[in-house]
Every structure is written in C-alpha cells, then in structure tokens.
Structure 1
C-alpha cells in the first residue's frame, strides 16, 4: 500500500487503513457508507457498492477453495489407484512359482500395472542354476560401476546407455529411460542388478521428475530378487 498523503494535516491512506482495521465498530456506526461507497467492478466498468465488491471477493475466494478441494480429491483418487497398483504388483511378485520365473513375472506385471512400454533387468552374481537365463546374461564392468555409483533412480533421455540395448530387444527404441539400481539391504548396500524402464515418449521419464516411487519399486524388487544370488 502506498503512503499517499490525502489531507492537509498529513493523513495517509495507511493511516486510514490502520484506523479502520483497528476500529471494527466504525461501519456499524456508519452503516450507510457500505451502500454509498462506490468501487469499480473487476467484471466491467460499472461501479458497485462496497458490499457488492466484498461479495465478489468472497465468491472468488470460494471458487479458489473449491478448485483446491477438487485438486485434493483428484490427487487422493490418484494416490489410492497407485496404492492398489503397487499392491497387485507386489502380490504377483510374491506369488511367483519359482525363483527362475520371478524376474519375468516382476517385469511383466510392472509393465501391466504401471503401463510402462519397455522394461528389462539384469542381475549379476546369481546362483549357478540361473546363469543361463536371459536376465542373468553378463554385463560390462562399466555398467556395474555406473550402477553402483547411482545414489538413487536415474531418469532422463536415452543417451546410449548399455541398458537401453536390453529394451531395444523388444523392437521399440526408448527415447526416455529410468534406471533403478538393485541393492542388498539399505540404499548403501552392495549393488547386484539394474532395472531399466523405457518409453518411446521422450517426456515419460524426465530428469527433473520425482523418483521416490521408483525408489520404492527398486526396494521391493531388490528384496524379491536377492534370493537369486549365489549360494
């Protein structure tokens, strides 16, 4: 608010505003002012009373609150749907018939529940019984080093990652990619695999997107796949 002088004695708009704010009985004693004061309407050039202007402001505030409530309800529905998807995926993984089919179940159910177009994984250091399976194929030492260096899931454009070659085997090139390290125990535990998610949409996995949900996926996948490791 500007400190405009409106009187010969130096009374300012701030002084008037402070007086009205600290004197709530003023408009009770001078109720006629509420109807006689004319203000410009924000919805046109016509003049409205102070009461009408206050009603307009109240309506706008109510509309803003309604929008926020609708957004909260929508977010609540989205979160509920996500919880159900996570529950179904986790249940399917836990019900996998054997360790050898577990990775395939994990991948297929992940693609189905979360509508991920492309998904693949590699696990290293597996038990001898699993060494010939597709998800246990050898990976480069560079990829192992890169995966171990990830503090959390990586999201961004596909810039020629080795893991993108696993996704390309499905016939559709990945434009964006998410790489989720698999670790034993806590986030700082030994790294034993990598889960790769991809999409032909370059905006699906962006570098500035939140990764908390992907981290949860990685934690659950790590717990399930750890039983595939060496005897």
Structure 2
C-alpha cells in the first residue's frame, strides 16, 4: 500500500494538483468534508489548522495589510491637506503685499516669517542676480552678487534640489544647518511658457539632517517657488 502511494506521488506533481483545483472550482463544494479533514501547518507557528481556518487566517492577514496601507494613505492625505492650506495662506499674503504695494522688504519678511513658522525651516535666503527696477534696492542683500559657479548650478536645475549643502554654496550658508532646499526662481516668457528664465534662488535651511532629503517629493516646493517668483519678478 505504501509503495502504491509513493508511486502515485511520483505520477502526480504539485503543479498538476494545482491545475486540477483551478479547473474544478467546485471541488471543495462537492467534497466539503475535506475542508475540516485536511490540516496544514499554522502560519503563526501554533500547530496544525484546518484548510478552512488557514484560508480565514490568510484573509485576515490580507485585510490587516490593507488596513495599514489605508491608514498610511489617510495620514498622507491629511498631511497634504495641511501643507496645501499653508501654501494657500502664503499665496494670499504674497498677493496682499503686491496689492497694497508694501515693498520688497516687507515681501522678504513675509516669505521668511511664513516659511520658518509654517514649514519648519530654520533659515531662508533670497539670492537674485538680475538688477532691481528700483535703485533703492541695489544694496539689498538679496541682490548682492553671487559667484558664477553658484548661479550656473542653480540655472541648471530642472526642479528644487533637496539634500546636503553643495560645495558651490559653502560661503553662503550657516555652518550649523544640516539640510537644504534650493528652489529656482524664474519668469516665463509670454509667447513660450515652456521656457523659463531663472533669475534667482530661494534657499531653505534646516537644522534637522533629514528635513530635506534627496528623494523627497518637491511638488509643494515647486508651488512655493512659483508663488515667490511671481511676487519677486515685479521688482525686476
């Protein structure tokens, strides 16, 4: 008898059994007793369980994984809502500055205060290498000359750069800052909106090493860059 079973095992492969069950989905309906008679090792290491129990455990595990993913999605959505509201608030303040003609110095204060307060950054820097349209701004630190290597590096960016301090900006940033976001400032040409002329950069610095990471998303940083660019371009 034992030899017959071994011979049968040799004739029928695991793949053939799997294929048979796939082709006969009602097999266990016709042989319902097998669900309680066939025992499998428990995936949680607690002895053997029936096939039906094993299936229930598998479903529970899948549901648990889906619940974790759903919780993560909800958390990300809530974080995005908060960030979106902060960007919206910044946009309103920048528009108010322009409407009330409060001047470039007030604009700088609005940008610095809002980004430090709402976006958890330690320092903000504006560097603009186009001349201002008001001679009174020539001596403003935002229009101070920067080295050509730095401006060339910024103008080569296609998106905000996040991470540690590049060597080309060593002398511009405080040594205690650990991570940075470099957001190009640009103006679009009316006839060719796909071409952007980069005229400066907004630098955000943080004391936390992982505040700005190389692999982080930059969608909101790009939106901040667009808003600040539109506000600053009025002074060029």
Range of TM-score over shorter length = 0.7 to 0.9
- Pick closer, same or farther for the CA change 1:150–1:8 going to 2, 3 Å: closer
Aligned counterparts, 1:34-183, within 5 A: 34-96=35-97, 97=100, 98-100=102-104, 101-124=106-129, 125-127=131-133, 128-162=135-169, 165-168=171-174, 173-183=176-186
1:109, distance to aligned residue in structure 2 (A): 1.1
Q: Taking structure 1 as reference, are residues 165 and 109 closer, same or farther at Cα in structure 2, changes over 3 Å only?
A: farther
Determine the C-alpha separation between the residues in 2 that align with 1:216 and 1:58: 42
Provide closer, same or farther for how the CA distance between residues 113 and 8 of structure 1 changes in structure 2, counting only shifts above 3 A: closer
2:87–2:220 CA contact under 8 A, matched in 1: no
C-alpha distance after superposition, 1:81-102 (max 9, x if no partner): 1111111111111112423221
Instruction: Tell me which residue corresponds to 1:222.
Output: 229
Determine if contact 2:127/2:142 at 8 Å carries over to the other structure.
yes
Distance 1:136 1:6, change over 3 A: farther
Measured in 2, the distance between the counterparts of 1:37 and 1:142 equals 72
1:196 pairs with 2:200: no
Compare the two structures and name the one with the higher helix fraction: 2
Unaligned 5+ runs, structure 1: none
Q: TM-score, normalised by structure 2?
A: 0.84
| Partner residue in 1 for 2:19 | 18
1: CA distance, partners of 2:64 / 2:23: 29
Shift of 1:129: 3.1
Deviates more, 1:198-207 or 1:114-123: 198-207
Gapped regions of structure 2 (runs ≥ 5): 1-5
